[in-house]
Structure 1
Amino acid sequence: MSVSTLDTPVNTSSNPNLSRASTAPEAKAKGPAPAAPSFNGHNATHVNFQTRDNHRGPVFGNPQPATAHQCHANHYGASAMPAFLDLFKQWLGHWFGGHRPTQRPGCSNPPPRPMPGASNPPPRPFPTIGRPYPTAPGRPDQQYSLKNNEDLARQLRDNFNAFIDPRNPGHVTIDSIHAMAGKSWSSNPVMNENIRLANELLRRPDLLNALDRHSTTGALDGLINRQNVNLVISGENYFKYKTDKELAAEMYEHFNELKSTPWQRELSISDLRKLARQPLTGDSPQDHLIQLAQEILKRSDALKHMDQNNDGHIGRDTLYWLSR
């Protein structure tokens, strides 16, 4: 008995469990199922050229589901290719174009250094050490400009030793006041107050003249002692801060009122002494004349200039020229 090899079907698939592709509509909905190649009769091997998004090229047979490792590898390969191309272009530009490749943070590049002082500012220095007094000499002090002359004189008396001129022991001079005003602003609060006092004293020449004026002659000798300061503090005379020139102007204006009799041509110094001995009555016009006589008699040096003939009389014309 002879057997024909053409009647025996030969299965070329390595997987015996593979089944033929189903032609039912349900199978088409799920995707085409490729059939195993067969040489039975006139049947030829079935090749499926339908592809999916995650496959490249034709698929032979039934496609197997991709594993998680394969998905990760495919994703890494798809995402790494543009990055590789960018780095390659940058490398080419660096070597052939003269440009540095763009640095990407995190790719072997250190993080940017923070700006110094952006979050940690340097410590502020002490606001007074080594700095001059904020108010320039000659300009008013916001606090000391509100004090009256007597308050400033008291402060000078209380700190008298700090202002003493070493060249004139026991005396404060204009030079020593200037020296105090020119000192640097320090961490010693007492010294700083003396600096402010000196600056304010230099802004008030009327007060300095009153402090400098000799207690007997009234002359400005440039020396200030404790007695001068106490006289300014305790003095109640309205004219104690007036200059000799201002006193001459006041005497010229009230020349007739200062004379004892209206028909006298000149003002007698004896009349001034008589008027100065009168008590204050509270009548402002009369008290004004009494204080004027008292103050001019304290300034023997100025009174001597008014009595040009040294005869005890003061002429009206002399007062006019001294007031100019």
Structure 2
Amino acid sequence: MSVSTTTVSVSISSSADTTQVNSNPAAQASAAVSTAASYHSHGGGSVNFHASQSQGGPVFGQQQPAASHHNYFNSPAHSQDFSAMTHHASHHGGTQQLEQWGNPWMGRPKPLINAHGPYPITLGKTDPMYSKKSNDQLATDLLRNARAFTTPGNRSTISKHAIEEMAQQKPGRNPVMNQNIRLAGELMKRPDVMDAFFRQPGTGATGDQVSISHFSAFNRDQNPLKYSTNKQVVQELNSHFGQLSEYFGGRQINILDLEYLAGLQQTGISSLDHLLNVSKTATDRKDLLDMLDNVASRSADNRISQTGLMLASYMMA
């Protein structure tokens, strides 16, 4: 059975004008190809966008084979290439930058004891109800009962320490308290979700507190990548490197292009929307982008190399 593919041709020119883009979200996103290239275009060219459900994202230019970065990172070829990558990165201070910027995320196992006190993370038995809830459902429960997870001196901020303390409580006769204990216990079994809940807006660093207003906005966010770890974001960038790189097929990703794509509305085209979500997730984590900007490329040049992405993904926990 053959499946037809919708192809939209978009012209790139050095005089691309975003003011001519109409209000249709799909048209705006398609125009991203020409507009993003106009940041540093030296001449004309043509780009084809292929919307296909079989792709992880849109294809700009010639159709590319499906991404297989997860297989690559576990393959012998990856091990063989890694020494060459580190040799290349050393000329740009890449390994040193990874060590300096990556310490908050890289190479550390998840501790069995939390960082705020003597409360051990007890896995215990599987909760028959909360273990079946999605991450978004747990976020909604936490938001609904947010005041139970604040500190006495600050009732407008959810505290990670309060969640850890709640998880250690013994069930009693108060049914509401018991539900909060079960919720906290389930959250402690999902450390990556906890990191996402307490990720600071803008920088992407994980903190100990989050305002209820910000957490409410996080809960409403429809981006499915909002729970991604930094390593997963790096792998997404690498998977779609050819689509996100300079001229949408060049040698490096321009962070200005990511910022432009992140500002576009969803189009209803799943492959393109995924690319917009990747861009938004990455640009919401300035600390991560700053680190990637300085690995295996010139420092602070607003560009991310594929060598840097592969090296960062290899080093991250």
- Counterpart of 1:316 in structure 2 is 306
- Counterpart of 1:247 in structure 2 is 233
After superposition, the Cα gap between the structure-2 partners of 1:194 and 1:315, relative to the gap in structure 1 and judged at 3 Å, is same
After superposition, the Cα gap between the structure-2 partners of 1:293 and 1:266, relative to the gap in structure 1 and judged at 3 Å, is same
TM-score, normalized by length of structure 1? 0.55
SS in 1 for 2:247: coil
TM-score, normalized by length of structure 2? 0.56
- Counterpart of 1:143 in structure 2 is 129
Q: 1:153 aligns with which of 126, 139, 144?
A: 139
Q: More displaced, 278-287 or 174-183?
A: 278-287
- Counterpart of 2:4 in structure 1 is none
After superposition, the Cα gap between the structure-2 partners of 1:240 and 1:209, relative to the gap in structure 1 and judged at 3 Å, is same
Q: What amino acid sits opposite 1:297 in the alignment? A: T
- Counterpart of 2:247 in structure 1 is 261
Q: Cα distance, 1:263 vs. partner?
A: 5.1
Q: 2:150 aligns with which of 164, 172, 192?
A: 164
The whole-number CA distance in structure 1 between the counterparts of 2:268 and 2:156 is: 39
For each residue in 1:263-292, what CA deviation from the matched residue of structure 2 results, as whole angstroms up to 9, or x when unmatched? 532110111122223332222221111110
- Counterpart of 1:279 in structure 2 is 265
- Counterpart of 2:195 in structure 1 is 209
The whole-number CA distance in structure 2 between the counterparts of 1:216 and 1:258 is: 21
1:212–1:228: 8 Å Cα contact kept in structure 2? Answer: no
2:254–2:304: 8 Å Cα contact kept in structure 1? Answer: yes
SS in 2 for 1:323: helix
Q: Cα distance, 1:166 vs. partner?
A: 4.5
Q: What amino acid sits opposite 1:210 in the alignment? A: A
- Counterpart of 2:208 in structure 1 is 222
The whole-number CA distance in structure 2 between the counterparts of 1:321 and 1:165 is: 41
SS in 2 for 1:321: helix
Q: What amino acid sits opposite 1:235 in the alignment? A: D
SS in 2 for 1:280: coil
The whole-number CA distance in structure 1 between the counterparts of 2:307 and 2:261 is: 22
- Counterpart of 1:306 in structure 2 is 292
Q: What amino acid sits opposite 2:222 in the alignment? A: E
Higher strand share: 2
The whole-number CA distance in structure 2 between the counterparts of 1:196 and 1:257 is: 43
Higher helix share: 2
Task: Give unmatched runs, 5+ long, in structure 1.
Answer: 1-135
The whole-number CA distance in structure 2 between the counterparts of 1:239 and 1:313 is: 22
Tell me whether 1:196 sits opposite 2:182 in the alignment.
Answer: yes
SS in 2 for 1:185: coil
1:180–1:195: 8 Å Cα contact kept in structure 2? Answer: yes
1:213–1:228: 8 Å Cα contact kept in structure 2? Answer: no
The whole-number CA distance in structure 2 between the counterparts of 1:262 and 1:169 is: 47
Identical counterparts, % of pairs: 35
SS in 1 for 2:171: coil
Q: What amino acid sits opposite 1:318 in the alignment? A: G
Task: Give unmatched runs, 5+ long, in structure 2.
Answer: 1-121
2:243–2:249: 8 Å Cα contact kept in structure 1? Answer: no
Q: What amino acid sits opposite 2:166 in the alignment? A: M
SS in 1 for 2:224: coil
Q: Cα distance, 1:228 vs. partner?
A: 3.3
The whole-number CA distance in structure 1 between the counterparts of 2:250 and 2:289 is: 19
Q: Cα distance, 1:143 vs. partner?
A: 0.7
For each residue in 1:36-78, what CA deviation from the matched residue of structure 2 results, as whole angstroms up to 9, or x when unmatched? xxxxxxxxxxxxxxxxxxxxxxxxxxxxxxxxxxxxxxxxxxx
User: How many aligned positions are there?
Assistant: 189
After superposition, the Cα gap between the structure-2 partners of 1:306 and 1:181, relative to the gap in structure 1 and judged at 3 Å, is same
After superposition, the Cα gap between the structure-2 partners of 1:176 and 1:235, relative to the gap in structure 1 and judged at 3 Å, is same
The whole-number CA distance in structure 2 between the counterparts of 1:166 and 1:305 is: 37
Q: What amino acid sits opposite 1:194 in the alignment? A: N
Computing the radius of gyration from Cα coordinates, the structure with the larger value is 1
The whole-number CA distance in structure 2 between the counterparts of 1:264 and 1:160 is: 47
The whole-number CA distance in structure 2 between the counterparts of 1:262 and 1:182 is: 51
- Counterpart of 1:270 in structure 2 is 256
